[in-house]
Each structure stands twice: as C-alpha cells, then as structure tokens.
Amino acid sequence: MINSSAGIKIANWVFNNIALIKKHPDSKKKGKKGFSFTLCNLQTSNAKEHFHNFPSVELKYIEEELLHLYKIPRANYSATGVSITYAAKGYEPHWTQDISEKEDEYTTHLKVLINKPVKGGDPIRRTNDEEVITPVSRYEPWLCIGEKDSYSTVKIGGESPYILLSFSYHLNKRVLKKLAYI
C-alpha cells in the first residue's frame, strides 16, 4: 500500500478542480462517461504553478514509494508520462496495448487507485484472449507491462468515482527479467 495521506491530497485536488481539468488542453474524454487528464513532466519546478496548485510533492512521494516497492533502479529511469484518470459511474474504458520504440524495452506502468469506486475499477489484462481481473484495494499498487498484454479496467459502477495514478517508464527487458516481472 502507498501512503494514504499523499493519495488523499491528490484526490482532493482532483475533486476541487474538476472544472479546470475538463477545460485543460491535455484533458481527453474516454468511454461513455468520465475523462482522462494526462499530466506530464510533473517533476519540473514549475509544474505546481502550471497545474493550479497541484500537490506535486505528494505525487513525487508516491512515485518514489512505487519505485522502491517494485525495486526499479531510480538512477537509471525517469517517468515518461504521469497520468491521472478520473471516471464516473458508467465509464467503460478501452483496451490498450503499448508499443515501445526500442526493441530492448517495455513500456511499464506503475499504477495505484487513489479513489476506488463502489463497483469496478480493477485492472484487467488480456493474454492470448484470456482476460484476468486483479482485484485491488484503494492505495494498493500494481505493475502493468504494456507490450506484454493488453490492459484495461472493469466498468465503473456506483456513486464514488475512480481516480487512478499511472507512472509510465521505458524499462530495459533485462532489468524486468532480473526483477522477475517477465
């Protein structure tokens, strides 16, 4: 589990800035309801000002927790993208499969729900036409290797929205093998 106080601060920022998020040029509608707000380069010093008082210290703290938990060598990698997805009741996500630009790397996502809906929101991965749902709790992280499997999320139900943090990295396959992730 990650630190819940950092997750609460980020979730509260999302709840308090829905109108800003919807208008932001990086906000992308997905599914029937809900939208995705992709934040990039949040490690930069001006990110907090650019994203209307975004709790970037807490985001960095969660990223460090995830890197430590999954034993990703911090000195060698930095996030290529950081996204927050907010989704409401009825949200039906799309299946995604990543394609890395380099043959010796996989796009790897470290993900954590900072607000769990009443129904759904759990990760699904599809391997050879078999779908595997992994039940997760609020603040429970998971690792997703984007080229290895297609991935998605169980349809959202209930009044409580889904808020997901995702940190994306291009990780060397040798590192992933050494850590027993592939």
SS (H, E, C) 27-96: EEECCCCCEEEEECCCCCCCHHHHCCCCCHHHHHHHHHHHHHHCCCCCCCCCCCEEEEEEECCCCCCCCE
- Number of CB atoms found within 10 A of residue 68's CB: 10
Segment 126-180, tens digit of pLDDT? 888 899 999 999 999 999 998 888 888 888 888 888 899 989 888 999 999 999 9
Mean pLDDT of the chain: 83
Residue 25 has pLDDT above 80, yes or no: no
> Can you give the pTM of this predicted structure?
0.87
pLDDT of residue 29: 64
Domains of the chain are 4-178 (2.60.120.620)
pLDDT of residue 113: 94
C-alpha neighbours within 13 Å on the C-beta side of residue 32: 7
Segment 36-64, tens digit of pLDDT? 566 655 555 455 556 668 888 898 899 99
